[in-house]
């Protein structure tokens, strides 16, 4: 399976399970494959600047889905902190 296909499948699953997070169809996601398992997750910016220019670390979970490359079977849907 190509990355483009994994992104489409992953986005559809994430939108179904976490609809409030994916109201904006442009919510960035990424796909990574390791040992025949795709992990598709939203992209959370961990750093931002405060009004006075200081770096602030943002808390929040990354929503993800893991599924097999060969048959598309879902392994897990969850949240990483």
Quick: pLDDT tens for 38-70. Answer: 999 987 665 556 677 776 555 556 889 999 999
Q: Strand, helix or coil at 40?
A: strand
Q: Residue 2: pLDDT band by 50, 70, 90 thresholds?
A: very high
List Cβ neighbours of 10 (8 Å cut-off, separation of 6 or more): 29, 31, 38, 40, 41, 65, 67
What confidence score (pLDDT) does residue 23 get? Answer: 78
Quick: pLDDT tens for 3-30. Answer: 999 999 999 999 999 888 877 777 889 9
What confidence score (pLDDT) does residue 69 get? Answer: 95
Domain ranges in the chain are 3-80
């Amino acid at each position: 399976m190509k990355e483009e296909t994994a992104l489409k499948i992953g986005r559809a699953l994430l939108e179904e399970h976490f609809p409030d997070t994916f109201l904006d169809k442009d919510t960035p996601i990424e796909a990574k494959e390791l040992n025949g398992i795709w992990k598709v997750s939203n992209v959370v910016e961990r750093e931002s600047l405060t009004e006075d220019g200081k770096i602030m670390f943002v808390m929040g979970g990354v929503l993800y889905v893991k599924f097999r490359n060969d048959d598309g079977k879902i392994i897990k849907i969850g949240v990483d902190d």
